[in-house]
Amino acid sequence: MECFTPFRLLYLLLVLSIAMSASMAEDLGTYIIHMDKSTMPMTFSSHHDWYLSMLSSMSSSDGVHPTHLYTYNHVLDGFSAVLSREHLDQLEKMPGFLAIHADTFGRFHTTRSPTFLGLDKNAAGSWPEGKFGEDVIIGIIDTGIWPESESFKDKGMGPVPDRWRGACESGVEFNSSYCNRKLIGARSFSKGLKQQGLIISTSDDYDSPRDFFGHGTHTASTAAGSPVRDANYFGYAKGTAIGIAPKARLAAYKVLFTNDSDISAASDTLAGMDQAIADGVDLMSLSLGFEETTFEQNPIAVGAFAAMEKGIFVSCSAGNSGPEGYTMLNGAPWITTIGAGTIDRDYAADVTFGGGILTIRGRSVYPENVLVSNVSLYFGHGNRSKELCEDFALDPKDVAGKIVFCYFNQSGGVSQVREVDRAGAKGAIISSDSEFFNFPSFFFIPLVVVTPKDGDLVKDYIIKSENPVVDVKFLITVLGSKPAPQVAFFSSRGPNNRAPMILKPDVLAPGVNILAAWAPKVALTRVGDNRLLTDYTLLSGTSMSSPHAVGVAALLKSAHPDWSSAAIRSALMTTAYLLDNTIGSIIDMDTGVAATPLDFGAGHINPNMAMDPGLIYDIEVQDYINFLCGLNYTSKQIKIISRRSKFTCDQANLDLNYPSFIVLLNNNTNTTSYTFKRVLTNVVDSPSVYRASVKQPSGMKVNVQPSMVFFAGKYSKAEFNMTVEINLGYARPQSEYIGNFGYLTWWEVNGTHVVKSPIVSAFAL
């Protein structure tokens, strides 16, 4: 028998206590609880008090009490809390309980772009007509804000609108005095993350609205930054940085924290959206996404529905999981979902060989004006490993002080640049047409990327020369580059998994190498071992495209304050353009061939045309509920999303009055027919007549009835039906998930308005 001394007994009790504590901690979780507030007893003065009373009444055998996090007043009826399994069992039996969802996590998905979008303060168009977004309030749900940035100065701005109910919170390295007439609000939401064990320290992030990483600062300044002269990225993209709606007000809601995981908790995101609605924002932009689930489990979809009901336009990034199909995020039909495209600005270096024998312009974003003159070239000719600059292929004795020429290795990219750097070479020239070299972070050594065609010329020069040498001139910004726009290779593609009968993304907006404000303590690039800090940086992602779209929407909202969110989205979609600056079809950067509506939606946003669309496809709140009924959502699911206790599904309908059309195909059948029913609304002051025309590919037959519609005046309506027949026996599919596509266009008779919508056939998963 083992003998227990007092010390050993104390030790075992301590171990047991630690084990029990660990077990209890593992049993706890953060949850979002949906309640039916119509069942609240009359004895409570508020829902908040009701929720707290419920939590305080819960018992637990381990003595752990529930912890309340947030009460939601707008985005949903309910609250979030830290609960044990015993608490969950008790909660599910309480009157008014609807549903519970475990907290989940989302991740975040710059300025030549105003000019590229056709915005000009000295000409007619969206800027003067939209009053530059004056007094419209944009809520940016992101990583916070760097308030000292020149992009958030309030010079020339009038008083904050009286309807604003927000606040500027103080916190770690953030004071309420940082807000002004431009940045009118700043708040932070981190309770959910903290309950997951995230420790927010100044070495990882700020427990305040201050932006540690820079992402939120970048998106906010893109949407509504004040003009800043001579902004640039280490000499590239010099010019005046200005937001799309430069006179709009900004409110920052920090829900993303960068720690080790760069994540946002669903409970925090909902709290941020809830507060933005309460504060009185007119529009929201979210450059983040959560895993695709049914809509009632997706915090952004739930929050955006509540915002839509109150007339708040919500723009979201489509995600960066392209180029494959069915990779869309934020696909709820009440959200305007934005894909990413390029703009007509590129960054270059001029490379001269042999003192003038050959000169080539290649891509470069190397952030220093270094002298590369009469430097020897190295090429591992005859050794494939060295030609590709593969890992440890280069001998430092061979390449020291030289420029290395490499052919791109499909599995290489940044690893090739690192190999050149490791071997101690002066720099590199890489022959590649890979889209990966669009990112500035690759250019941490003197690097120039040339096309494969030019690369062959370089190789030929090196082989034929006894002493190959090169000169390089960096810091060249190219304006008017062609073709542009192109669909970014990373931009997520449609259809959307959860509602494939709605074409997504909705539109394309600038999202590649966008210059905008940044947190100056954060280095995204380096030269050698030196990390470089900057006030303005180039970033790529659909994160950059969403604030462009919300900025344009702010201009429309300012010019048309009575328009619904659906009306604004319709104007953006039906006026979007389909041709690039070579007057050719918009190209998919990944394939090099024409893109499809499942890549770019209705096309690339065109702010000046969107200001006066002629006709719109409007959608009421009840239409969305009918759509959810059509998806066979249960009454509980619909109640969670809509917060309605009473509704019927008598008019279930998957055919929303959307400005685009998609026919889902079954791989087992060759022929499919579907009839769409739509209602058009006239938004000009005079009567008008429109005639329908259809561009249809082989294998697609489209019939529109009536083919001519009449409008008596502003806000008058006209209905039409469109039947689409698809015969795959006559049409070769475009890809494994898209069949064919065409366009329906309504032309104004004796007028100038053109209202265009894509018609797409796609294979269902």
Positions marked active-site: 142, 215, 543
The one-character DSSP state at 129 is H
Q: Where are the beta strands (DSSP E) in 643-687?
A: 661-665, 671-682
H-helix or E-strand containing 141? strand 137-142
* Paired tokens of 705: 């009835």
- What proportions of the chain, in percent to the nearest 5, are helix, strand and coil? 25, 30, 45
The one-character DSSP state at 436 is G
How far is the C-alpha of 372 from the C-alpha of 404, rounded, in Å? 13
- φ and ψ at residue 275, rounded to 5 degrees: -70, -40
Q: Which residue from 317, 236, 307 is spatially nearest to 272, judged by alpha carbons?
A: 307
* Paired tokens of 317: 């990034």
Q: What is the DSSP string of 550-570?
A: HHHHHHHHHH-TT--HHHHHH
Q: Which residue from 25, 99, 46, 130 is spatially nearest to 643, judged by alpha carbons?
A: 99
Peptide bond into 613 cis (omega under 30): no
CB atoms near residue 692 (< 10 Å) = 19
SS (H, E, C) 243-268: CCCCCCEEEEEECCECCCCCEEEHHH
How far is the C-alpha of 360 from the C-alpha of 351, rounded, in Å? 5
3-class DSSP state of 480? coil
Q: Which residue from 267, 246, 234 is spatially nearest to 119, judged by alpha carbons?
A: 246
* Paired tokens of 381: 């000719």
Residue 517 pairs in a beta bridge with 536
How far is the C-alpha of 163 from the C-alpha of 166, rounded, in Å? 9
How far is the C-alpha of 612 from the C-alpha of 746, rounded, in Å? 14
* Paired tokens of 124: 């007619």
Sort 684 into a burial class: Cβ within 10 Å, 0-12 / 13-18 / 19+.
middle
